[in-house]
Every structure is written in structure tokens, then in C-alpha cells.
Amino acid sequence: MRVVLAEDLFLLRDGLVRLLEAHDFEIAAAVESGPELARALAEQEPDVAVVDVRLPPTHTDEGLQCALAARRERPGLPVLVLSQHVEQLYARELLADGSGGVGYLLKDRVFDAEQFVDAVRRVAAGGTAMDPQVIQQLLARQSGDDRLPARLTPRELEVLELMAQGRTNAAIAARLVVTERAIAKHTANIFAKLGLEVSDDDNRRVLAVLAYLDHGR
């Protein structure tokens, strides 16, 4: 699996390269700036891009803007964002097309190698890997919005948050210490309230819901 990695801090970039290579990823390019990232994504056509949001030369949104531009050119290009902050605007834009293959992790909340490697693989396979804090902030911005067609209950919001992390109904049931049947009912209620068709593809369903919540503002 070929990876393009963009991180401006040398020690972190080198550490990520070594980690990924140790887990049988091929590093197609490891770059430190926005222009380098844009070229690498265009030339290397990776299986997944792992990018920091803030890269030289602007140190603002250079990294993610390059990834989003590449994703527009190549719809569905898997992108895993690594950031120190929850950049809500960028997270929503990344999720907006609903095509899957997206992730957003906070650097200081990646606690072990397996967690990170699993996230890269999940995103590369077309799934989602969202830090709970990212999801909480996205949903929190919507929770006071009276324009939503129906209000989700606190439990439904909790289930939706866990779904957005890529968890199955069985995993959510175990986390919340309830039956899988109860989670299935909550899931059905969520999609009924939001006017969305129920799908067997959990990743696509979650992306659709988050995109819907964003566009309902």
C-alpha cells in the first residue's frame, strides 16, 4: 500500500515513515511543504495520503487544501488528516462529498502504533477514522440549530458519534453496555429523523449524516 506523507516536523515525519514501513506500507513520498505535497499527490497517485493541516509556506491550511484539491481531481482519494487542533471547517469540507476514505486524528490523542496503523488502513480501504473529539465538536455545533428537521436524543447523538468512529453496531452495543438490537433501533431512529435511507455500509451512512448536518446549517 503506497502512502504520501506530509509533515513539516522532521522528527515526527521520520518517525511516521519508519512506523509505516515497519507495517509493510510503501512510502511513495514524505514531504514537508504544501507545494511538495501537491506534486507528490499528482505524480505518485498514492493509495492513501497522510497529511498535516498546517504546512509551509503559509502554515495555515496548506496541507489540507492540497489534499482537498487532489481529492477533487481524484474523487475518493483516501485522506487521513493529522492535526493538533480540531479544524471544524476543514473537517466538514473533507466529509462533505460523502465518498468515504477519510479520517481526522488529533496528534496528541494517538496513543499507540496500532491505533494509528489501523486508522491508515481503514481510511485506505474507504472507511472512516475520526477522533471522538472531532465528532463531538461537529455535532455540538449542530445541537443548538433549530433548523434541523428533528432533534436527536442524547443517546442517539452518542450512538452517532460512535458510528462516526467506524464502530459496528455490535461494538457500539458493547461500548454502551446495551443489546445490539437496541443499537439497531437507535440507528433506525437516527436515519428516520434525518430523512436518510438506511444503508448496510456504516462508513457511508455516517459520512452522509455528517454531511447532512453540515449542510443543514
For residue range 66-95, what is the model confidence (pLDDT) as tens digits? 988 999 899 889 999 998 887 777 777 777
The per-residue pLDDT for 150 is 55
The per-residue pLDDT for 207 is 61
Task: Using the structure block, give the residue that is written with the C-alpha cell 447532512.
Answer: 212
**Residue 160, C-alpha cell as written in the block:** 452517532
The per-residue pLDDT for 112 is 87
What CATH code is assigned to 135-215?
1.10.10.10
Which sequence spans correspond to the domains of the chain? 2-129, 135-215
26 with 18: CB under 8 angstroms? no
The per-residue pLDDT for 162 is 82
The per-residue pLDDT for 109 is 85
Q: Give SS3 for 201.
A: coil
Residues of the chain with pLDDT under 70: 96-99, 138-150, 165-166, 196, 198-217
The per-residue pLDDT for 116 is 94
User: Distance of CA 49 to CAs 22, 25, 75, 178, 182, Å?
Assistant: 17, 12, 13, 36, 37
129 with 123: CB under 8 angstroms? yes
**Residue 13, C-alpha cell as written in the block:** 515525519
In terms of CATH, what superfamily is 2-129?
A: Response regulator (3.40.50.2300)
Nearest to 57 by CA among 49, 46, 65: 65
Instruction: Give the angle 33-34-36 at the CA atoms, nearest 5°.
Output: 70
